[in-house]
Structure 1
């Protein structure tokens, strides 16, 4: 697994924190200096934290664990969706529905409702009044917007990646309640002690968010591939043993 390049982080503007009057003192170990009223993040620390988080996610994925990405602010939406898509992870990038983790059965019912309406398209819709069809289409569009990224999540994830824990407070609290390990981009206004793997970084700039999620997504893909090969090797070994037993 490649080490994170601090120079690339600098070019992406990862080092820009919030105004000094907005800081959380618990971020002090990750701050390099204050410049023109803005806290500057120590990118050596950021690189270390990215590598630690990537190692954790790689291991989780290699063991068959599922990961959920959360980032509903505009700057993070596309990067969250793209990273989850290429790494086979779940995602929430529009709105966190309360109980997504702590009341998963209700979410599963909403998914079932979404799929049942989808199944009406082109069939049952033809027999229904236009006004009723229009209402159902509005309902299903809203369901897809909120649930597409988690419609196949049938149990709680094994790890979460959150962009901006100050904004995604409800998601974080649900993860804490269920003891789900959290990797999070923590800007200088956040409390890094709330998560297991804080990544000190600018959580407002698209390029900053994207470069970090790129590294985390790469780690998940590596882990998934490594785990698949390992499981495939074990299956081949078992098949060989069975064949040997038959031959004997």
Structure 2
């Protein structure tokens, strides 16, 4: 079953590209035509590419790994943050800090600092500080939460990135390339799709378009999570059945051992009786 239809893409305005004078020639394979000075994206290719991206992301999530969502442009940040939270995936929607991937160890230190501040408020350490110190800590906590709140549970590098507008998020793309992390992205007619592993040609400026494509990816992630959960349950059932079979097998062997032991005792008694009769 298809994850979306041609009509859905059309209704969301996914086909509207940028002005022809702002285009990137590398997007020519995804452009259907030009109308009133605007490039029109080939939605048949969008359908194919979004299916490929969704299938690949589903397998990544099914294997138990994380996908990092990156969308710092105004039209996308709220949509992406909300959708990513629904599937418990990390996200960056305020500002991409240089080195967020390539210098991940330092980023983790900042996240740890944020958790240490939270501990201070719980164990009473925060209460004994002066008013000025409390204010400074509060400000730092708000700043860290704004920049790193979306990746606070990310303990290791993500398995993939999903980006809105690769031109705006070029630093994230560059870092992912250096670390060989697969990238999935909405790519408009003014962007270069050559550095993206799974480009989805689509309008990355309209909220309806962003919402539709992001939702397709989120649904694929949900499918991956559900399948992973089912696989774990099946594995647990198989282990329980194997354990039960082992116990049952042991219970069957026990009477057999007792029977052998009884036969031996009867044989010894018979031999003793025979010896007694011989002596007489």
State the TM bucket, normalised to the shorter chain.
over 0.9
Residues 49-64 of structure 1 aligned to structure 2 (within 5 Å): 49-64=49-64
CA deviation profile, 1:137-170 (whole Å, cap 9, x unmatched):
0110000011111111111111110111111111
1:34 corresponds in structure 2 to: 34
Contact 1:50 1:199 in 2 (8 A): yes
Contact 1:14 1:202 in 2 (8 A): yes
Name the CA distance, whole Å, in 1 between partners of 2:129 and 2:235: 54
Per-residue deviation, 1:119: 2.2
More relative contact order in 1 or in 2 (CA 8 Å, sep 6+)? Answer: 1
SS, match of residue 34 in structure 1: strand
CA deviation profile, 1:47-67 (whole Å, cap 9, x unmatched):
111111011111111121211
Contact 1:87 1:218 in 2 (8 A): no
SS, match of residue 146 in structure 1: helix
Per-residue deviation, 1:191: 1.1
TM (norm. structure 2) is 0.86
Per-residue deviation, 1:103: 1.3
Residues 186-225 of structure 1 aligned to structure 2 (within 5 Å): 186-225=187-226
Name the CA distance, whole Å, in 1 between partners of 2:26 and 2:111: 39
CA deviation profile, 1:190-211 (whole Å, cap 9, x unmatched):
1111111000011111111010
Per-residue deviation, 1:121: 2.5
Name the CA distance, whole Å, in 2 between partners of 1:61 and 1:126: 42
1:24 corresponds in structure 2 to: 24
Structure 1 gap ranges (5+): none
Per-residue deviation, 1:247: 1.9
Name the CA distance, whole Å, in 2 between partners of 1:118 and 1:39: 50
Q: How many residues align?
A: 248
Please identify runs of 4+ aligned residues in structure 1 that moved more than 3 A.
none
2:114 corresponds in structure 1 to: 114
Give the superposed CA RMSD: 1.2
SS, match of residue 194 in structure 1: coil
Per-residue deviation, 1:18: 0.8
1:82 corresponds in structure 2 to: 82
SS, match of residue 4 in structure 1: coil
TM (norm. structure 1) is 0.97
Name the CA distance, whole Å, in 2 between partners of 1:239 and 1:27: 54
Per-residue deviation, 1:3: 3.2
Per-residue deviation, 1:124: 2.3
1:180 corresponds in structure 2 to: 181
Structure 2 gap ranges (5+): 250-280
Determine if the alignment matches structure 1 residue 164 to structure 2 residue 165: yes
Per-residue deviation, 1:108: 1.0
SS, match of residue 121 in structure 1: helix
